[in-house]
Amino acid sequence: MLLAISYSMKPCFTQKQLEGAGYGLKAALVDAWRDYDEWNPIPGYFQFDWLSARHPDLYHKFALSSVGLIDELHKLVDLTGLEVIDIGAGTGRSTMGLAAKAKRVVAIDIYESVVTYGNKMAEQSGYQNVTYVRGDSAHLPIRNDSMDACVRAWAEVNYLEAFRVLKPNGYLIDLGPAPGLIVGELDSILAEVDPENTTEKTPADEFDPHSPASDSFLSEDTWNGVRVTPPIHVHDFTYEADYGDYAEAAAIYGRLYGPAVKRYLLDKQKSTVSSRLRIVISRVRK
């Protein structure tokens, strides 16, 4: 039985109880994420699965980089008339962007609260070609060889499953960060807060919105363990997410990443956050 969780002005559950609620977790009230213990938040900082499941409205406000990734993808691949699966679709930022071109988009996410929120966003968008399905990326509820393109934006994906559902020569598309930490220009702050996860850093000049895009082509005939037809196209570019108001940007990023990031954005009065992003495009070989 799933744990029933109610919202009050102070957290009334523990992290263990939150996780015990599983994938059927219900969303908190809209804007409930704004009231939390800054030094001991529940869900905790960096816990994106639980943060998006408990507070999908927070995640939707945050996920502007997915908009940038999809806009850039449309410059590289024509999805017109294609059947597309969006794995780990979240609250719909990537899904709605894909739906603007694709014939149909099947959005897959495992969290009930996220699927409910994504369905609402799809209805409000007016798109008639979006289907949200609650499902596990390790066992996609999709027929073999039925999709023209498989997209994942910031999400984990089982590449064997993605390969299974794709038609021969279908697009396998990965969207996410370029090498380095995943928070763009805020990486240097988070490196001090979370040094164990600091592996390599993107040069600061690449976070300049005018930094040019770069392209490379890999000759490998496999990608993450599945057969592809070379070359694999790797496209890096800089995206500046604009949250409109620096206090709102600080509130959003502060809840996700902690007080050091919040204070940085407040002190700088920055409503924008720049990231170096990466798109990897391959075609499966069957």
Please write the tens of the pLDDT for every residue from 72-97: 999 999 999 999 999 999 999 999 99
Predicted confidence (pLDDT) at residue 199 exceeds the cutoff of 70: no
Distance CA 230, CA 238 (A): 25
**pLDDT at res. 197:** 58
Distance CA 15, CA 71 (A): 36
Structure token pair of residue 48? 């994106």
Burial class (CB in 10 A: 0-12, 13-18, 19+), 118: buried
- CA-wise closest residue to 161 among 181, 192, 182, 138: 138
Higher pLDDT pick, 20 / 201: 20
Tell the residue number behind the tokens 């990031």, with chain if given.
261
Percentage, residues of the chain above pLDDT 90: 79
Cα separations (Å) of 178 from 26, 116, 214, 221, 254?
A: 33, 30, 11, 21, 22
Higher pLDDT pick, 132 / 192: 132
**Domains of the chain, CATH where assigned:** 61-177+213-240+277-284 (3.40.50.150)
**pLDDT at res. 98:** 98
Distance CA 116, CA 33 (A): 18
Give the type of residue at 243: Y
Cα separations (Å) of 13 from 5, 8, 18, 20, 181?
A: 8, 10, 7, 11, 31
**pLDDT at res. 279:** 98
Answer for the pair 182, 69: CB distance below 8 angstroms, yes or no: no
pTM of the model: 0.91
List pLDDT tens digits, range 104-132: 999 999 999 999 999 999 999 999 999 99
Omega within 30 of 0 (cis) for the link into 212: no
Predicted confidence (pLDDT) at residue 194 exceeds the cutoff of 70: no
